[in-house]
Amino acid sequence: MTDLPILRLKPKANARALRHGFPWVYANEAVTDRRTKNLTPGSLAVLEDGERRPLGLATVNPNSKIIGRVLDRDSEAVIDKAWFLARISKALDMRDRLYDTPFYRLVHAEADGFPGLVIDRFGDTCVVQPNAAWLESRLDILAEVLAEVVGVSNVLKNASGRARSLEGLDDVNEVLLGTAPDAPVPVLMNGATYMADLTGGQKTGLFFDQRPNHAFAASLSKGARVLDVFSHVGGFALAALAGGAAHATSVDGSAAALALASEGAVQTGVADRFTTRQGDAFDQLEVLASEGAQFDVVICDPPAFAPSKPALEKGLRAYERVARLAAPLVAEGGYLGLCSCSHAAELSLFRNASARGIGRAGRRGQIIHTGFAGPDHPLMPQLAESGYLKSVFFRL
């Protein structure tokens, strides 16, 4: 028997969802007595239902709205190196089957059995985002296991995740193992080379989730004029050029990101067909319209306008505005791809907002494709938040 503290659900809390795989316990569902409130964030506890029956082993953060995260269905599990090794090995096995290059999301949080943990692999380096308190005291074990199982030499901690502040964690990046790369890392995807800044770029340095959507956009782009808005390091533009686009333009607010995109175009061998425009994306869409610009394929991949339910209505209006400004730039019979990484804006709401924007621009479209994150970003069926990314492609 374990001597761990108990995290108990209130009698009327929904234990059934947890029994069926839901991984979170909200603070208003748990008995929060003095002992529970005094637990150190990241502590382990046995999770029990209101009738004192065990539901599993959980990590507790009494300062978070998500007071409990289920780590293991076995309430007597030991969270040691062997536990990490087994789960990292399982995650790696699937990625090895999916990809023939060492560039992918290795761990996608709850969906891979690691609540709050994101790991992206860039060849010989793994970038770790520990977004829950239980991970902070176990980063040395995690780095050791990544070196042993995955075979990487470098493990970096990225502390920029918004969730860290909600968990009461710091925003300090550090090297957990080896050294940080002193230059952007070239990443091969869809025939293009992307330059990933692992220490100064957005999130972990590159967004692997859009890989299949990049590929679909590239399939539309042979001989086409392409516009990639909110492009970061050239995601859709470089894939389109590698797929035979006649020309591509990347628009982004970050000069540093566009510099990486330009270097990626050089490395891909398409620099003569690539241009950039730096500035606010909404402003640039309006300027392009005033110039009478037309493109065969336009893709807009903005940041999360609706990162939470309170921001949903404002976010949907922003997505509608993107569609309204982008649609006039699409040539007759051309294609408009619209993306959202907001988990609060589920697919039907995002699709409807996009269609409204297209209609307000005086255009009509047929939906030809709906895309999601790649299989290295698995979806946990019980947790809608794990399936945040969606893209909708219209022919106008």
| Tens-place pLDDT, residues 133-142 | 999 999 999 9
- Nearest residue to 122 via CA among 184, 60, 76, 70: 184
Residue 1 has pLDDT above 80, yes or no: no
Lowest pLDDT segment from 39-43, 208-212, 217-221, 389-393: 39-43
pTM for the full predicted model = 0.94
Q: What pLDDT is attached to residue 161?
A: 76
pLDDT digits (tens, 9 = 90+) for 262-280: 999 999 999 999 999 999 9
Average pLDDT value over all residues in the chain? 95
Per-residue confidence (pLDDT) for residue 2, from 0 to 100: 65
Q: Give the separation between CA 81 and CA 146, rounded to whole angstroms.
A: 11
Predicted confidence (pLDDT) at residue 384 exceeds the cutoff of 90: no
Question: Does residue 201 have a pLDDT over 80?
Answer: no
Active site residues: 341
What is the tens place of the pLDDT at every residue in 96-118?
Answer: 999 999 999 999 999 999 999 99
Q: Is 331 left (phi over 0), alpha (psi -120 to 50) or beta?
A: beta
Q: Which tens digits make up the pLDDT trace of 17-66? A: 999 999 999 999 999 888 889 999 999 999 999 889 999 999 999 999 99
Summarised one tens digit per residue, pLDDT across range 296-344 is: 999 999 999 998 889 999 999 999 999 999 999 999 999 999 999 998 9
Take residue 62 and report the two structure tokens written for it: 């009494």
Please, are residues 242 and 218 in contact by the beta-carbon 8 Å criterion? yes
| CATH placement of domain 185-395 | 3.40.50.150
- Distance from C-alpha of 343 to C-alpha of 302, rounded to nearest angstrom: 13
Fold of 6-72: 2.30.130
CATH number for the segment(s) 81-177: 3.30.750.80
Q: Is the pLDDT of residue 236 over 80?
A: yes
Mean pLDDT across the stretch 202-229? 95
Could you tell me the residue ranges of all domains in the chain? 6-72, 81-177, 185-395
Three-class SS of residue 270? coil
* % the chain with pLDDT above 70: 99
Q: Which residue type does 160 have? A: S
